[in-house]
Amino acid sequence: MRKVDLHIHSAASDGTWTPQELVNAAQAAGLGLIAVTDHDSTANVAETMRIAAANGIKCLPGVEVCSTKDGMSFHILGYGIDTANKPLQELLAHNTYLLEKKDDDSVQLLIKQGWPLDFKEFQNYTYDRRRGGWKSLAYLIDKGLCSGVNDFFKRIFTAENDLGFPEFPPISEVIAAIHGAGGAALCAHAASAFHGPGLAQTLVELIEEPFDGFECYHSGHSEEDTQLLLTHCRAEGMLISGGSDCHGSFVPSRHLGKPDVYETDIFLPGLI
């Protein structure tokens, strides 16, 4: 019975691992089935799949796509996708542009507030993606003006600043793109605090969306959250997945292979 983790990030988005490092960590965690699901990027999927296969680990082609519903940000996991699918890649490129613009807007906001920053310097700034995170975070840390990710969010996502998240494509559009690429679309970490009203109400609001299933097991879910999602999926015949949402050392509170999920716990017919 294989142990699984179907929500892992690499340095292609905000994680710290190369494909080789990710597979090494998966081996050390005793995983037999994984998925690399970077934010709006499939850049490391093919290499991770190749290295995983050479080491006796099954790796699903995956992605985690940003979407927006009623002003709230939702992440959608796509499994079994054709990473060469043009419409999907165009959507991912659009989301990447929005995220990069948010980076620019964050720095420009701080400059207006009197921070000793130079926007042209920021535009030319580069950093080692294996640090995890994103450009503006790394820039502020290197300038000695930010201590880490929590400090960054306190400064950027205040009521005064109110930058919030970008307006990503609607859920239905993202799901259609994943389906068009031959994949299955599952709602990631549905109990996340940034969805607003709580899991039970979130499920009510998501009924109208054409999800194939939910990520029932997640490092941020309580046992109550997990059971509520499992009950919903089983009653509706929906797909069930689970994963750590591990970002390597960038999010040290999340560990590969935690929560403990096995192949018998999930329901992904045709994908595994």
Strand-by-strand arrangement of the 239-243 sheet: 4-8, 33-36, 58-69, 72-79, 184-187, 213-218, 239-243
Q: For residue 81, what pLDDT is reported? A: 99
- Average pLDDT, integer, range 226-232: 97
Residue 256 lies in a domain: no
Let me know if residue 254 belongs to a domain.
no
Shared domain check, 50 and 105: no
Cα–Cα distances (Å) from 178 to 13, 31, 175, 240, in that order, read 18, 26, 5, 17
Q: Does 74 lie in the same domain as 9? A: yes
Looking at residue 9, what DSSP letter applies?
-
CATH number for position 13: 3.20.20.140
Q: How confident is the model at residue 152 (pLDDT cuts 50, 70, 90)?
A: confident
Residues 112 and 239 in one domain: no
Least confident span in 84-88, 106-110, 187-191: 106-110
The percentage of residues in the chain with a pLDDT greater than 70, rounded to a whole number, is 95
Q: What is the pTM of this model?
A: 0.94
- Select, from the ranges 48-57, 152-161, 187-196, the one with the highest average predicted confidence (pLDDT): 48-57
**Is the pLDDT confidence value at 160 over 80?**
no
175 and 230, same domain (yes or no)? yes
pLDDT of residue 233: 98
Residues 178 and 230 in one domain: yes
What is the model's pLDDT at position 7? 99
Looking at the fold, whether 187 and 67 belong to one and the same domain comes out as yes
Supply the range of the domain harboring residue 213.
Answer: 4-85+170-243
Contacts of 236 (CB under 8 A, 6+ apart): none
Assess whether pLDDT exceeds 80 at residue 156: no
Question: How many angstroms separate the CA atoms of 236 and 221, rounded?
Answer: 20
What whole-number distance in Å separates Cα of residue 77 and Cα of residue 185? 6
Residue 140 inside a domain? The answer is yes
Domain shared by 210 and 232, yes or no: yes
Tokens representing residue 139 in the block: 């820039």
Q: Which residue has the higher pLDDT, 255 or 163?
A: 255
Residue 64 and residue 134 share a domain: no
Asked if residues 107 and 145 have their Cβ atoms less than 8 Å apart, the reply is no
Same domain, 186 and 75: yes
Domain co-membership, 150 together with 30: no
Distance from C-alpha of 179 to C-alpha of 212, rounded to nearest angstrom: 10
Percent above pLDDT 90 for the chain: 83
Tokens representing 116? Answer: 């000793």
**Residue 149 — pLDDT band, cuts 50, 70, 90?**
confident
Domain assignment present for 262: no
User: How much is the pLDDT for 2?
Assistant: 97
Looking at the structure, tell me whether residues 19 and 49 fall in a common domain.
yes
Last residue within a domain, chosen from 107, 128, 156:
156
For 5-9, 27-31, 157-161, 177-181, which range has the lowest pLDDT when averaged over its residues? 157-161
For residues 24 and 148, membership in a common domain is answered with no
Tell whether 264 is covered by a domain.
Answer: no
Count structural domains, the chain.
2
Would you give the distance in Å from CA 4 to the centre of its chain?
17
The pLDDT value given to residue 50: 99
What was the pLDDT predicted at 157?
66
Q: Is residue 165 part of a domain?
A: no
Q: Please give the DSSP secondary-structure letter assigned to residue 32.
A: S
